[in-house]
Amino acid sequence: MAVAACILTTAMFASAFIMARFPSAVAPAVQTEVAVTNADRVLVVSPHPDDESIACSGLIQHALEAGAQVRVLWMTAGDHNIVGPPLFWRKAAVTPAQFRDIGHRRMQEAMAAANVLGLSPEDLIFLGYPDAGLSDIFMKAWTSKPYRSGLTNVTSVPYAESTVARQPQTAMNLLTDPEQVMTSFQPTTVAYPNLIDDHPDHQATGLFVTAGLADLHLSPRRLEYVLHVNGWPRPL
Where residue 203 sits, what CATH number does that domain have?
Answer: 3.40.50.10320
Residue 22 lies in a domain: no
Q: Is the pLDDT of residue 126 over 50?
A: yes
Determine which of 87-91, 141-145, 185-189, 194-198 has the lowest per-residue pLDDT on average: 87-91
Q: How many domains does the chain contain in total?
A: 1
C-beta separation of 44 from 71 below 8 A: yes
pLDDT level of residue 18 (50, 70, 90 thresholds): very low
Span 51-67, average pLDDT: 97
Residue 146 lies in a domain: yes
Residue 27 lies in a domain: no
CA end-to-end distance (rounded Å), the chain? 39
Residue 24 lies in a domain: no
Residue 69 lies in a domain: yes
CA distance 79 to 99: 6
Average predicted confidence (pLDDT) for the chain: 89
- The residue among 147, 105, 102 whose CA lies nearest residue 129 is 147
The single-letter code of the amino acid at 145 is K
Residue 48 lies in a domain: yes
Residue 67 lies in a domain: yes
CA distance 86 to 76: 21
Domain carrying residue 166: 2-10+42-225
Q: Which pLDDT belongs to residue 14?
A: 44
Span 155-173, average pLDDT: 97
CA distance 16 to 46: 21
